[in-house]
Structure 1
Amino acid sequence: MEKTPSTAPVPAPRDGVPPGAIKAVPLRHWGRWVSAVAVVALLAALVLAFVNANVNWDVVGEYLTYDTIVEGAAKTLWITLLSMLIGVVLGMLLAVMRLSDNPVLSSVAWGYIWFFRGTPVLVQLFLWFNLSFVFETLNLGFYKDEMNDVMTPFLAALLGLGLNEAAYMAEIARAGILSVDHGQTEAAHALGMNGGKTMRRIVLPQAMRVIIPPTGNEFINMLKTSSLVYAINYTELFRAQDTISSRNLAVMELLLVATVWYLILTTVFSIGQYYLERHYAKGSDRAQPPTPLQRVRAQLGSFRTKSRVGGVTV
């Protein structure tokens, strides 16, 4: 038979003698400290391995600002921006077509997404670069030229990256549009707005809260995927370091140079993505997340703040 625990009466304080102060004992999380020490030890071992490796760090520092490397980084950024622009604009159009009641538009959009998401981007780059095997000349009536002269490495890279990205952006935009309550569209139609104005003024501004975060991730992913265009002889960052390392045989040093540049570019745009997400999150029910500067201030303020429990500082 289970016994109920007995509750002893709390003795009343003696006259004139205040009750004893409560002594708060913080809970110790030993597992957190052990895991933190293990992670720091692994990171230290990794850093030490690179420091003691046969890497000429002077060469790394020298080539970080080398003209060919800087130009390659600029071309990487340029091809990423243009490809992403094509992907976003065409992706939005494909998303609207996919949601259209017109079966032809919907089928064409579905087929486009099916093809470009179902084949590797490297294969698509080579297909565009070798398009002259299918079309020897480009004849638009007002313009005619050899396809080999038209399909330069830059144009092949732009088409390969941009059209591939459009397929992914179409699904992201479609998910964002579907996330907006259908009642918003019905209310806009009741006010006399047509389909196009409803999409531009009502649906898309609300859908941006869902579209922006994955779009930022796609941009950062595109920045790294652009390294594949070295295979079709477009001299971006990765090909620039590969060309230099093939001459001076400083393979690891130049790979580290490219790594630093990719990290710089992705970090800058990650910060931009963060503030863009904050902008489009305005008006939502959720509170605005603190900025990194606000987090630092909060952490510094927590050290100065003294919590009191029962009049005793803990």
Structure 2
Amino acid sequence: MVEHVADGPLGAQRLIVELLRADAIHQPPALGDHAPHRRHSIHRHPPVAPGNEAKPPPGALSDTAPVGNLADDTAVAGADGRYTAELSPDWEIWGPNGGYVASTALRAAAAHATFDRPATFGCHYLSVAHFDTVDLEVRTLRQAKRAESIAVSMTQAGTPILEALVWMVRDGDGVLHDNAVMPEVAHHETLPEVRDLLPADTPLLFPFWGNFESKPLVWYEDPMARPAGDDACRSLILLDTVGWPAATRAHSPDLPWMAPNLDFAAQFHRADPAAEWLLADGVAPVAADGLIGYTSRIWTDQGTLLASGSGQLLCRPVKA
């Protein structure tokens, strides 16, 4: 992951992450494949002569390893308001990443919905899930001509995991303006990859971070031809994830705390499935009384604001 930290005391509390080629975590089956193409390899270093390859320890940032496939790993199966999904350990960070779990709920809502476009998503995280099957009960609360309100309940072996509310809408005409200003940061093409900045044996702290800055093996012939809600999952994961990194930029790296989300909300302003790179801008201006509030925004290369989010984190001591 490539980072640009805004100027300010202690590095300030803004984390700007330049990442996520659209195809890097969203791969279709290659032509001729008879099974889902679930994983692909990260290109970790330039080619070298056979026999001269470096041998970093397993799990190092420079290691070549399989990474998750967002399309497959958030896929749901079922119908008539009852779905199941398999949570993949490729998205582990203090358990399943919250944005990843939320994305699975969004996929269930999209599978159930009459309309294709996610407009808003909000959820409460109730329990930490295991990397196993989850059940999703989806129901329509209200449907109008252009919008549908949907509730999603995720459970695992009877334990409540997440409750979500989603608005799905149909595109239409309305007031039109765009005064959003993208943060002034270096373009991703001018920045080195993090594995080039750190020693080769730097460990990958969580499998989750291995899902970023990968080099794809296959491409989408038509990036617009994705399942409903699928492209929005890219923004959803980033909007959820950047709160803690933004807050910790103001502190030393050996904090005795972790801070999972209590809640999370996202607003999807527009879609751009063809955008290869997304810029995630997270700000956590206040941490007090065991709580950390944050806001986040997702931009394209061209400075288009795709989505906004916010959440509240609850500080918990790190277990020894």
TM-score w.r.t. length of structure 1:
0.23
Higher relative strand content: 2
Larger radius of gyration: 1
TM-score w.r.t. length of structure 2:
0.23
Higher relative helix content: 1
